[in-house]
């Protein structure tokens, strides 16, 4: 007779483990089904009574309170017959305070302002002294109230010139130059310093520049070479009668700074053969090498490493811009970088047939305009709460990198955008980089200016808080009633 042997302990443990696992799966499945049914039952939309309009807009319509008496409180008990709405509402109709709901656009300026330059108004200039052409300097309004021929010649030889001339009563010389695609700006050499840093230019040329060289402490010079350091300058002073050295602490201070009859001091050197401030390389190598001001640590917070990072960053950004706008197709010529920083945007455009006016805001944390000139580019200082010294419709492309974050607490950004509209030609392009909150405000204003715009993701992807606004100034003409 056969004898039955009980199963081994190991086999029994395996069977128990399988039973426990199956029980666990069944319990979890039952709980999931129960919670799903419970959630579906709670989210079931109940029919709303047709006649009760006071409940359907609770808390959304400010006029809904008038439907109830001031002392009555609605009752929502089981026998009240009222039905509460617990549905998720992802859209809310905001009451329209404008009435018709249409966007209120900015009115067109009268046609007699089509060539208006606010800071060089001739009628306002009459109130100022005519001595030394003070009346032709920048005089911006209060809150309540043939040039560049030589520059065009040099441009063919890959030399960029910064031409300037006063606003003329009979010839818009700066306007003619910009329409030819030659850099120029409205300005005059009078009592204020020109808006450029010290040691900015390699050559200066003056032809019929309306300067009485032998008056007001000025000195007549035909062709001269500036000494390369203060030691050489001291030797010249022993031989010739020359003015004294200026006592100003900042030779780069040029925004509304009065001129003095003195020589701007040069940086210190160790020997007579050294170039004060550092020698610059030849073009075009100097555009991509570390400028002497940055190499010597003269600009706080900037060094060679940050310069190289900035150069690579703007190469990447310009490549991103090329996907949207035709930079290389000769559509753009006059370009302005409204917050140039180290000039990386201009350096990335060297291989294209454009020139860039690099603007350094006087309110920025660092004065980098001197380094931009050392790279072989041109530029100017500017306070964007004021108008820019140029004629209307003179630039093809405007670039603003975090400009509105600088000025949003200083002045109304609407004024900055209207100034951009003034200097941008019809069908010109504006590229604005900033945070989403700022760009949303900017886009709302550009719609009122009749611009077409769209907000794009950052070149690194949608998770970067900084975005890019691409806008185009549309071509339109004023209505008949707006021409008066």
pLDDT digits (tens, 9 = 90+) for 224-274: 456 666 666 666 555 556 677 887 778 899 999 988 888 888 888 888 888
> Is residue 311 within 8 Å of residue 278, measured between CB atoms?
no
Q: What pLDDT, on a 0 to 100 scale, did the predictor assign at position 216?
A: 55
List, in order, residues 6 or more apart from 439 with CB less than 8 Å away.
432, 455, 467, 469
> Is residue 263 within 8 Å of residue 216, measured between CB atoms?
no
- Region class of 256: left (phi > 0), else alpha (psi between -120 and 50), else beta: left
Quick: pLDDT tens for 389-418. 999 999 999 999 999 999 999 999 999 999
C-alpha distances (whole Å) from 389 to each of 184, 216, 333 are 10, 26, 18
Q: What pLDDT, on a 0 to 100 scale, did the predictor assign at position 366?
A: 94
Residue 258 phi, psi dihedral angles, 5° rounding = -70, 140
Q: What pLDDT, on a 0 to 100 scale, did the predictor assign at position 332?
A: 95
The DSSP 8-state label assigned to residue 327 in this structure reads G
What average pLDDT is seen over the chain? 79
Q: What pLDDT, on a 0 to 100 scale, did the predictor assign at position 138?
A: 63
The model carries a pTM of 0.69
Q: What pLDDT, on a 0 to 100 scale, did the predictor assign at position 100?
A: 46
Evaluated on CA atoms 430, 434, 436, 438, the torsion sign reads negative
> Is residue 432 within 8 Å of residue 442, measured between CB atoms?
yes
Name the stretches of the chain with pLDDT < 70. 1-14, 41-103, 109-116, 118-148, 168-171, 208-242, 479-484
CA distance 311 to 348: 8
> What tokens appear for 366 in the block?
């660092």
CA distance 303 to 448: 42
CA distance 354 to 346: 9
Q: What pLDDT, on a 0 to 100 scale, did the predictor assign at position 95?
A: 47
C-alpha distances (whole Å) from 26 to each of 13, 16, 23, 32, 40 are 20, 16, 5, 10, 21
- Chain centroid to Cα 219, Å, comes to 40
H/E run at residue 200: none
């Amino acid at each position: 007779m056969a004898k039955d042997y009980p199963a081994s302990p190991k086999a029994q443990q395996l069977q128990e483990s399988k039973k426990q696992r199956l029980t666990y799966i069944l319990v979890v499945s039952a709980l999931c089904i129960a919670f799903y049914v419970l959630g579906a039952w709670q989210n079931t939309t109940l029919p709303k009574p047709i006649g009760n309009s006071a409940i359907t807009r609770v808390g959304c319509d400010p006029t809904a309170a008038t439907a109830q008496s001031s002392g009555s409180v609605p009752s929502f008990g089981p026998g009240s017959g009222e039905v509460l709405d617990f549905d998720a509402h992802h859209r809310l109709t905001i009451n329209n305070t404008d009435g018709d709901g249409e966007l209120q656009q900015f009115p067109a300026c009268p046609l007699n302002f089509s060539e208006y330059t606010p800071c060089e108004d001739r009628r306002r200039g009459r109130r100022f002294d005519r001595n030394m052409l003070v009346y032709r300097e920048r005089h911006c309004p209060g809150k309540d109230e043939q040039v560049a021929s030589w520059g065009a010649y040099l441009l063919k030889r890959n030399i960029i010139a910064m031409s300037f001339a006063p606003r003329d009563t009979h010839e818009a010389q700066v306007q003619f130059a910009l329409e030819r695609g030659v850099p120029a700006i409205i300005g005059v050499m009078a009592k204020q310093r020109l808006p450029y840093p010290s040691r900015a230019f390699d050559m200066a040329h003056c032809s019929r520049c309306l300067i009485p060289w032998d008056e007001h402490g000025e000195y007549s010079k035909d062709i001269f070479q500036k000494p390369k350091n203060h030691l050489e300058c001291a030797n010249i002073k022993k031989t010739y009668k020359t003015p004294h050295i200026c006592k100003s602490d900042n030779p780069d201070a040029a925004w509304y700074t009065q001129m003095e009859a003195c020589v701007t001091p040069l940086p210190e050197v160790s020997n007579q053969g050294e170039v004060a401030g550092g020698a610059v390389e030849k073009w075009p190598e100097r555009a991509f090498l570390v400028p002497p001001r940055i190499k010597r640590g003269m600009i706080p917070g900037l060094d060679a490493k940050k310069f190289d990072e900035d150069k690579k960053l703007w190469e990447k950004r310009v490549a991103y811009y090329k996907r949207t706008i035709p930079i290389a197709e000769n559509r753009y010529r006059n370009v302005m970088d409204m917050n140039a920083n180290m000039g990386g945007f201009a350096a990335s455009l060297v291989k294209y047939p454009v020139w860039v006016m690099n603007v350094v805001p006087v309110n920025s944390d660092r004065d980098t305009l001197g380094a931009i000139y050392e790279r072989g580019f041109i530029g100017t200082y500017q306070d964007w709460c004021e108008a820019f010294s140029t004629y209307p419709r003179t630039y093809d492309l405007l670039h603003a990198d975090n400009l509105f974050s600088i000025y949003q607490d200083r002045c109304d950004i609407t004024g900055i955008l209207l100034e951009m509209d003034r200097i941008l030609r019809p069908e010109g392009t504006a590229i604005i980089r900033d945070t989403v909150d700022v760009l949303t405000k900017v886009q709302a204003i550009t719609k009122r200016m009749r611009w077409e715009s769209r907000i794009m993701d950052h070149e690194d992807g949608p998770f970067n808080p900084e975005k890019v606004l691409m806008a185009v100034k549309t071509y339109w003409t004023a209505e008949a009633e707006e021409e008066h």
